[in-house]
Amino acid sequence: MILTRPTAPIADQKPGTSGLRKKTRVFMTPGYLENFVQSIWNAIGGVAGKTLVLGGDGRFFNDRAAQTILKMASASGASRVIVGQDALLSTPAASHLIRSRGADGGLILSASHNPGGETEDFGLKYNAANGGPAAESITAKIHSESEALREYLILDAPDCDLAALGEQRMGDMVIEVVDPVADYQALMENLFDFNAIRDLIAAGFQLRFDAMHAITGPYARAILETTLGAAPGSVVNAVPLPDFGGHHPDPNPVWAHDLMTAMFAPDAPDFGAASDGDGDRNMIVGRGLYVTPSDSLAVLAANAHLAPGYAQGLKGVARSMPTSAAVDRVAAARGLDCYATPTGWKFFGNLLDARRASLCGEESAGTGSDHVREKDGLWAVLLWLNILAVRQQSVAQIMAQHWAEFGRNYYSRHDYEAIDTAAATALMDDLRARLPDLPGTEVAGLRITEAQDFAYTDPIDRSVTTAQGLQITFVGGARLVLRLSGTGTEGATLRVYLERFEDAADRLALDPQAALAPVIAAAESLAGIAARTGRSKPDVIT
């Protein structure tokens, strides 16, 4: 029986950088999830007759939320929902399923790198028929629908069995439960030279992949261990847990410190990697060397043609604005178009669809290509492995050669988490107001060439997105970016992105924080971060 339940608008359902993220208990409040899901249906013109994909990263409430969404899809007339077994799907696997099955869209249950559990975070994101995160125009529509919502529809029916592969019915709707890994693995086998990687591993190459108790565990085990022959146990923290073992599933040197310890030990493996909660991010570590995501993007751009799926060369590259310009240097050398977009994968969708860019990346450890419309953690790991197998060099040798050829963009991000929202907003507003006066002035010994509040005009649909971060550029290419996070669930998070270019042969192996010291000093002097946030140092440095 279809129930029409009266409801009232909930004020805080505005999607951020990547869907709606809130404390899990907020999402569990009766009606909260239902309101948001009905707002999505309303914003996309309903789901009658449509096929959707559904899955999530396995965090607490993933299973319950999936049942609610299925009942709401059925009540609103969806014809089919393709669900990963046990309601699990990595974000890139969901993107692939939407595309390969010609679905009308999909819902991904995840708060990605945010911690999980009943007292931590939950999230929900809508992806469109191209497999990519809904564009700003759609997320804005979802928000406005949520502000006017009066009722939602839900089927009064028992839960379905999401452990059983195959088809079942819920009302008039077909639920098709699929193996979350199989289609994704087949896609990877199409793109990469699995034989070359298998030979590399058989010859003694050792790797360690840290799944951080999140969704990539089953994918990495199937692909890296079972198919490519990595020793059993090469994938660690491989079992997805509802609270990710109490950790932040955020692949950076701070949260993946176990991996860092292993990779800097005397008996370190040749290659280390980690992924995040929903499997769309990657962290790459060589023996004794952390590769920043911005550098990783540049290396992949320079070497992608070594993998069969990219042998024809890239169509162009794109990075988020705060990501370092290392990839720009590769693009310039190879004659590729290079785009700078606002933070968040949704801004790459049009460039990928229009074939203007085929490799994209973000400084936050997201890299991906036109094979799906999301960033893809395991894909980046496999592309690195394919490159290592062809070049027969260590990660450190590849990085040294890359910097010798293109120069090095020293890079770091300093995060101030859960700070007072009013203080964070005031910091940004005050600096924004001073931007016009900054060019030509000097701060901490650096001369400012440009200062702007980043705005982006999409080259395909001409949509304009403003206020995407304050960008201050210095003589010599050093750069400072400040923006507020759009994925947090507590107070505000200030992100300070720092970059400085060096190409002198004897200055390519400096300590990044030391190399960036003048830019760090400039940030403090321009924004008064310590005084305004009450923090003497960043909470997280990556």
Active site residue 525: no
CB of 503 to Co ion, least distance (A): 33
Which CB sits closer to ligand VG1, 24 or 74?
A: 24
Tokens of 107: 């819902």
Nearest Cα residue to 316 out of 362, 369, 367, 363 = 369
The one among 51, 112, 127, 139 contacting Co ion by CB under 5 A? 112
Which CB sits closer to ligand VG1, 276 or 370?
A: 276
Q: From the list Co ion, ligand VG1, none, which binds 376 (C-beta under 5 to 8 Å, kind-based)?
A: none
Q: x-or-dash pattern for ligand VG1, window 11-50, by CB under 6 A?
A: ------xx--------------------------------
CB of 313 to ligand VG1, least distance (A): 26
Which CB sits closer to ligand VG1, 382 or 482?
A: 482
Q: What share of the chain is helix, strand, coil (3-state, %, to 5)?
A: 35, 25, 40
Tokens of 158: 């028992």
Tokens of 16: 């951020």
Q: Should residue 58 be labelled a site residue for ligand VG1 when binding is judged by CB under 6 A?
A: no
- 536/533 Cα distance (integer angstroms): 8
- 514/81 Cα distance (integer angstroms): 52
CB of 254 to ligand VG1, least distance (A): 14
Nearest Cα residue to 90 out of 194, 191, 208, 212 = 212
Q: Should residue 343 be labelled a site residue for ligand VG1 when binding is judged by CB under 6 A?
A: yes
Q: Should residue 485 be labelled a site residue for ligand VG1 when binding is judged by CB under 6 A?
A: yes
| Residues paired with residue 3 on neighbouring β-strands, in sequence order | 154
Query: Largest Cα–Cα distance in the chain?
Result: 73
How much is the CA Rg of the chain, to the nearest whole Å?
A: 23
Half-sphere exposure of 368 (CA within 13 A, CB side): 30
Q: Should residue 234 be labelled a site residue for ligand VG1 when binding is judged by CB under 6 A?
A: no
The stretch near ligand VG1 (CB under 6 A) out of 55-63, 140-148, 258-266, 276-284 is 276-284
Q: x-or-dash pattern for ligand VG1, window 365-394, by CB under 6 A?
A: -x----------------------------
C-beta of residue 518 within 8 angstroms of C-beta of residue 444: yes
Nearest Cα residue to 179 out of 93, 267, 276, 110 = 93
Q: Should residue 276 be labelled a site residue for ligand VG1 when binding is judged by CB under 6 A?
A: yes
Q: Should residue 276 be labelled a site residue for Co ion when binding is judged by CB under 5 A?
A: yes
Q: Should residue 127 be labelled a site residue for ligand VG1 when binding is judged by CB under 6 A?
A: no
C-beta of residue 97 within 8 angstroms of C-beta of residue 82: yes
Beta carbons within 8 Å of 313's beta carbon, 6+ residues apart = 305
Q: Catalogue the active-site residues.
A: 112
User: Rule CB under 6 A: which residues touch ligand VG1?
Assistant: 17-18, 112-113, 276, 280-281, 320, 343-345, 362, 364, 366, 485-487, 495
Q: Which residues bind Co ion (CB under 5 A)?
A: 112, 276, 278, 280
